[in-house]
Amino acid sequence: MLTLKAFHVIFMVTWFAGLFYLPRLFIYHLATEDPGGRKRFETMEWRLWVIMSIGAALTVLSGLLLVAFWWWPMPAWLQAKLLLVAGLLVFHFHCLIIMRQFREGRMPHSDRFLRLFNEAPAIGLIGIVLLAMLKPF
C-alpha cells in the first residue's frame, strides 16, 4: 500500500509541474508577436499538456485504487479532497481549450485573467495537501 501511495505522489508531482507551468506559458504566448514564436509556444504547450495528462491520468488511477482498497467508507476529508481534484481536472481541460484558442488565432482572455488563472493550481495544491495531511474531519 505504501508503494501505491508513493507512486500516487510521484504522478501528482508530474501533473502539478504541468499545471504550474502551462498557464505561465500562456502568459508568455500572449505577449509574443512574431509568428515563429507563436508556433514555438503552441508546440511547447501541446507537448507539456500531453505529459501532464499522463501524470493526471496516473494520479487519478492510483488515487482511485487507494480509495477502493484502503479508504472505504470514504471519510469527509477525502470527499473534500476529491472535490478539489475534480476542480483541477476542470482546470486541466480548460487549459486545452485555451491552447485551441491560441492555435485558432483568437484569445478571449486578457493578460490579467491568465495571471489569475495561473494561481488556481497553487490554491488547489494547498487545499489537497492540508486535507491529506491533517485529515481535519
Which residue ranges make up the annotated binding site? 8, 81
Grid coordinates given for 95: 487549459
Residue 111: CB atoms within 10 Å: 12
- Report the binding-site residues for heme: 8, 81
CB 48 within 8 A of CB 18: yes
Tell how far CA 12 is from the center of its chain: 9
Residue 23 exposed, middle or buried by CB count within 10 Å (0-12, 13-18, 19+): buried
Tell how far CA 20 is from the center of its chain: 7
CB 81 within 8 A of CB 135: no
